[in-house]
Structure 1
Amino acid sequence: MQIIEDPKVYDAIIVGSGAGGGMATKVLADAGLNVAVVEAGPFYDPAAPKQQTQMKWPWESPRRGASTTRPFGDFDAAYGGWEIEGEPYTRVEGTEFDWFRSHMLGGRTNHWGRISLRFGPLDFKHKDVDGYGDNWPIGYEDIKPYYDQVDKLIGVFGTNEGLPNDPDGFFLPPPKPRLHELFFIRGARKSGIPVYPARMSMLTKRINQERGVCFYCGQCSRACSVYADFSAGTCLIFPAQKSRGQVDLFVNCVVREVTTDDNGKATGVSYINKEDRKEYKLKGKVVVLGASACSSARILLNSKSPQHPNGLGNSSDLVGKYLHDSTGADRMAFVPDLMNRKVSYNEDGVGGMHVYSPWWGDNSKLDFPRGYHIEQWGGMGMPSYGFGFNVVDFNKFFGTKVGGYGDVLRSDVKKYYGALVGVSGRGESIARKDNYCEIDPNTVDQWGIPVLRFHYKWSDLERNQARHMHNTFEEILTNMGGELLGEKPGADRDYGLHAPGRIIHEVGTTRMGDDPKTSVTNRFQQLHDADNVFVVDAGPFVSQADKNCTWTILALSWRASDYIVNQLKQQNI
């Protein structure tokens, strides 16, 4: 097949436009570089009339907002999901791994939970604490200046609490707790579990003229039309286009591989244009992969050449290895004291929690080595399809007759609406070499590109953590006066653990390290095997933490991008 080559040579080609790719675009363009951004999905601007979904009513969707066309509902700003027609992935027998992809400008940052937590000092050196996994080659002190810059550039609300492994930052004022959150605070503190204001990247006050301030519609999953929440497109890519560098966007373009020369150095990328289905080549001095941990691993593994017969960057045979996702478990309860509430005021708040509980436990006294934080949910936000409880289940648990039609149904639903509260645990799993993705030799996607095959199993350490979560959930919800819904899951259900991949925090496939034999990238996320290729998504993570990974992706990408600018100036790459 003929491959169409673009004669232009870019200073940097960035693959992916989410948190890592978006930050790299901003930093490199601000430095005056000519940058090409290659994104597998379409252009997206949540303020554009034809793309805006914010402030639309459930009945404006023919499915009342159901998740039959988008994984989190019709109005969710996610073009993609766990299954994409024509773009499969496979699993070996015994593996249950669900891979989420969001193909659009800004990637997953358009619809993520926006929980913006720093990793703490212990999170980079956990092997020293419990003997599991490996330490990072860098410490908190190396990344702290970049966390500080990310806080100031993007904006995050919260409070400085002086917690040793949940570092303070530069915070905007947090929103006040809602009624169900006040119940959660009371229930958690009865059990000695601390609760603090959440740390989330929504603007509660203005930080510049380009972005608005949150007006508490509670619809952050739709991506904000006034740019008050963080999305990589609105907060990084769009400003980069106004900087002194040049940013060319190549949307709806699926990267097949990184191309290399006879010396094994990267020369650019080849991609398939979804619109004409033809293959093109871009040339660049530096290639920056930010396609997501698994997508970047797939690109590297598919980038075979005489100089890199095992895939680019894979002389250690570790590309794709040490894949791990956050653990997750949930529980819900009916709280009678929250029944019969007035609905004449807006309690929506930000799109997510106003308070949370960071890990409080002493793992040396427990049967699992790493912790988890607790999120909570509930309240009286805008209902949509399946908005909070199933009538059949409600009758089953409480013998309550909810039904009929017209005024009777409306009255019954209003009694209970807002009386359901849920809690979720999101924790750290242990990185293991035998949890990994590889190229399936027998399957290609609709573009003819070989797909990933997953190998993954939870261990007893994650199961024990989930059991602890559920014991804690029951205690808190009972303290709140709640009546628990459903049965507490046991060993036969892995204590309620979500399937790996379901929390959408996968990391570790191109782990960083000082030794090329035991890592893929160095401490600046530069391939050991090709010094002009960098990985700026969550692939280089040596371990996850009991925190969401986006803020760390952003900080590390900024750090790697500064290094790229410095190395280009010195003509080292």
Structure 2
Amino acid sequence: MNLFDIKEQPKVYDVIIVGSGAGGGMAAYQLAKAGAKVCLLEAGGYFDPADPKYITQLKNPWESPRRGASTRHRPFGDFDAAWGGWDIDGEPYNAVPGTQFRWFRSRMLGGRTNHWGRISMRFGPDDFKRGSMTGIGDDWPIDYEDLAPYYDKVDKFIGLFGTKEGIRNEPDGHFLPPPKPRLHELMLKKAATGIGIPVIPSRMAMLTKPINDSRGSCFYCGQCGRACQAYADFSASSVLCIPAAKTGNLKLINNAMVREVLTDPNTGLSTGVSYVNKMDLKEYSIQGKIVVLAASTCETARILLNSKSSRYQNGLANDSGVVGKYLNDSTGASRQAFIPSLMDRKRYNEDGVGGMHVFTPWWLDNKKLDFPRGYHIEYGGGMGMPGGGFGGGIERVNGLYTDKNGNKKKAGGYGSALKEDVIRTYGAYIGMAGRGEPIPLESNYCEIDPNNVDKYGIPTLRYNYKWSENEIKQAKHMQDTFEQIIHELGGIALGKKPDASNNYGLAQPGEIIHEVGTVRMGNDPKKSALNGWQQAHDVKNLFVVDAAPFVSQGDKNVTWTILASSWRTSDYIIDQVKAKNL
């Protein structure tokens, strides 16, 4: 590739958006609807879950050569709607020795929103003020009250189910009716609430009843991770990007790997972006009056750090030096169990929505604990469609139940004995996973690797990330809680309980795929890259609307906050253009 032979396209767009996930999709929809001429760049291919050539819903495991099992390029299974993974050909990254980070990327229209769990919780009032409340970490430059009207708008526009519970830091929203709990979830609720652990209906972005004429309602196939052909769940591709294109104001360019944001050497303002077309490996530039980055937390930081010039020698929007720093991902630890009382059940359709019908919000006071931030618990189980590896855990319950004649039964084996055990124990396994808030640290960061480029000639990322004692202690609490619940259920925990030797089962950084914080917002330009409108302190016509601006993680999943804050920033851009400030 000749880096000096950049093909410039003459049209000047009102707004260029990089990335088509939750943040980029919302900005594209709002700005195109307002009449702006928008160019949306996506590093992956086109995807529409309603197009027959992409549909994987309702396919049986045996229609896959691997019975639906995961692969390097489909880590969540053959039918999962994620094109990408932690390991993508030609797109390497690495970590500083002694540290680790796993970087998940979905290269497709809508990005990760096509296959996420659709757990849609608002951040609470305390989540924006952790620094002043606890003396650990930093406050956001905005309050819950600033985002609350936009949470309301997102609830009504996109739709989610749930119930009003009146929990202060788990704010209620505008909910559709939740699906009924399944048997294992009723048992989990009874066991957990009996020992003071709340279990409430989940808050998830699936339509349990229609909200408009363009989207259907859930038909309870339990396969939301495949992306919904009825548009009954939220994916940015179907709910935001495709409708934005229908306005006639949006130009979509797929397979565009953005290299950098271009700037005017005199004014310092952004003038557009350059990208490599993945099909012909040639480099192109697009001109725009405003640039909005939403490429995902780490990719956005990579673009900014690669956007160097004589004026911006440390990368764009990085006069503070914080771009790439304060990277943090949700903590995660899990445990599975066998529940003898759930054996030998009558078979019935128990699929429901894709994922949990109930969950546990954070319920304790961290001031009384030895770690400073909380977590929620997600539950799994039931008689969903078996996939690759089904029945493989049966050997782990040896001698723990009796056969039909009252004799001790050793589980597993092979042939008819194994088949009988698999049938008897189908639906008798449950799982629980904690998802918690870490402490953002300046020492956890991504940076440009000086020695490596990807196959498009773009410098790659190098990570430096370690969990602190705070997250390890939090994982220990998760494991202790899981064992309590399993005991109350009369269950048998599978495998050895994780301990200090393996950080109590704490997942590797990046494995939970909730990373935030590399282009943080703040009021002080010396300590932050963006202001409270997610606008670069150093470049007024540059905005970031993915999770990179987030000051902290919260003990919630982040997508609903990405959507709300992107909508808020889009309204700000519209107002500033009208006022001729942009």
**Same fold, TM exceeding 0.5?**
yes
Q: Partner residue of 1:554? A: 563
Q: Distance in 2 between matches of 1:311 and 1:362?
A: 41
Query: How far apart, in 1, do the equivalents of 2:391 and 2:220 lie?
Result: 20
Deviation for aligned residue 1:110? 0.2
Moved segments of 4+, more than 6 Å: 396-399
- Cα displacement (A) at 1:299: 0.1
Q: Tell me which residue corresponds to 1:58.
A: 61
Say which SS state the counterpart of residue 547 (structure 2) adopts.
coil
Q: How does 1:392-541 map to 2 (within 5 A)?
A: 392-395=395-398, 400-405=410-415, 408-541=417-550
Does the 8 Å CA contact 1:353/1:377 hold for their aligned counterparts? yes
Offset from partner CA, 1:26-62 (integer Å, 9 cap, x none) = 1101110010110000000111111111110001011
Amino acid of the structure 2 residue aligned with 1:401: A
- 1:324, 1:430 within 8 Å by CA — same for their partners in 2? yes
- The residue type paired with residue 514 of structure 2 is H
Distance 1:49 1:445, change over 3 A: same
Q: Distance in 2 between matches of 1:397 and 1:283?
A: 67
Displacement after TM superposition at 1:397 (Å): 7.5
Question: Aligned equivalents of 2:11 and 2:423: distance in 1?
Answer: 62
User: 1:381, 1:10 → 2: CA distance?
Assistant: 47
Distance, in Å, in 2 between the alignment partners of 1:101 and 1:449 is: 16
Q: CA RMSD in A?
A: 1.1
Report the CA distance between 1:392 and its aligned residue.
3.8
Sort the Cα spacing of 1:463 and 1:396 in 2 relative to 1 into closer, same or farther, 3 A: farther
Residue from 2, 17, 24 that aligns with 1:14: 17
1:255 to 254, 258, 271: 258
Equivalent pair of 2:399/2:411 in contact (CA under 8 Å):
no
TM-score, length of structure 1 as denominator length: 0.98
Please give the alpha-carbon distance, in whole angstroms, between the structure 1 residues aligned to 2:75 and 2:528.
34
Q: Distance in 1 between matches of 2:205 and 2:146?
A: 22
Aligned residue for 2:126? 122
CA distance in 2, matches of 1:217, 1:63: 21
Q: Distance in 2 between matches of 1:167 and 1:201?
A: 16
Q: Verify the 8 A CA contact 1:443 1:451 in the aligned structure 2.
A: yes
- Counterpart residue number, 2:173: 169
For residues 50 and 291 of structure 1, the distance between their equivalents in structure 2, rounded to whole angstroms, comes to 26
Aligned positions, number:
570
Identity, in percent, stands at 64
> What are structure 1's unaligned runs of at least 5 residues?
none
Match of 1:96 in 2: 100
Report the CA distance shift for 1:397/1:445 in structure 2 as closer, same or farther (over 3 A).
farther
Alignment-mate amino acid for residue 190 of structure 1: G
Of 206, 221, 224 in structure 1, the residue corresponding to residue 228 of structure 2 is 224
**Equivalent position of 1:198 in the other structure:** 202
| Separation in structure 2 between the aligned mates of residue 388 and residue 316 of structure 1, nearest angstrom | 53
Deviation, structure 1 residue 396: 8.5
Q: Where do 5+ consecutive residues of structure 2 fail to align?
A: 402-408
Partner-residue secondary structure (3-state), 2:573: helix
CA distance in 2, matches of 1:309, 1:393: 57
User: 1:348 and 1:7, CA in 2 relative to 1: closer, same or farther beyond 3 A?
Assistant: same
1:403 Cα deviation after fit: 3.5
Q: Look up the SS of the partner of 1:306 in the other structure.
A: coil
Q: Secondary structure at the match of 2:246?
A: coil
Q: 1:360 aligns with which of 333, 348, 363?
A: 363
Q: Could you tell me whether the CA contact under 8 Å between 2:546 and 2:562 is conserved in 1?
A: yes
CA deviation string 1:525-548 (max 9, x = no partner): 001111111000000000110100
Give the structure-2-normalised TM-score. 0.97
User: Residue 378 of structure 1 contacts residue 418 of structure 1 at CA under 8 Å; is this kept in 2?
Assistant: yes
8 Å Cα contact 1:388-1:420 kept in structure 2: no
Question: What residue is the counterpart of 1:302 in the other structure?
Answer: 306
2:34 aligned to which of 31, 35, 41: 31
Task: State the 1:393 CA deviation.
Answer: 3.2
1:337 matched to 2:346: no
Return the alpha-carbon distance in structure 2 between the equivalents of residues 282 and 468 of structure 1. Answer: 50
Partner residue of 2:385 out of 382, 386, 389: 382
2:370 maps to a residue whose letter is D
Tell me the amino acid that sits aligned with residue 188 of structure 2: F
Q: Which residue of 2 aligns with 1:235?
A: 239
CA distance in 2, matches of 1:38, 1:267: 15
Instruction: Tell me which amino acid in the other structure corresponds to 1:537.
Output: D
Amino acid corresponding to residue 553 of structure 2 in structure 1: Q
Cα deviations by residue, 1:496-531 (Å, 9 ceiling, x for unpaired): 100010000000000001111000000000011111
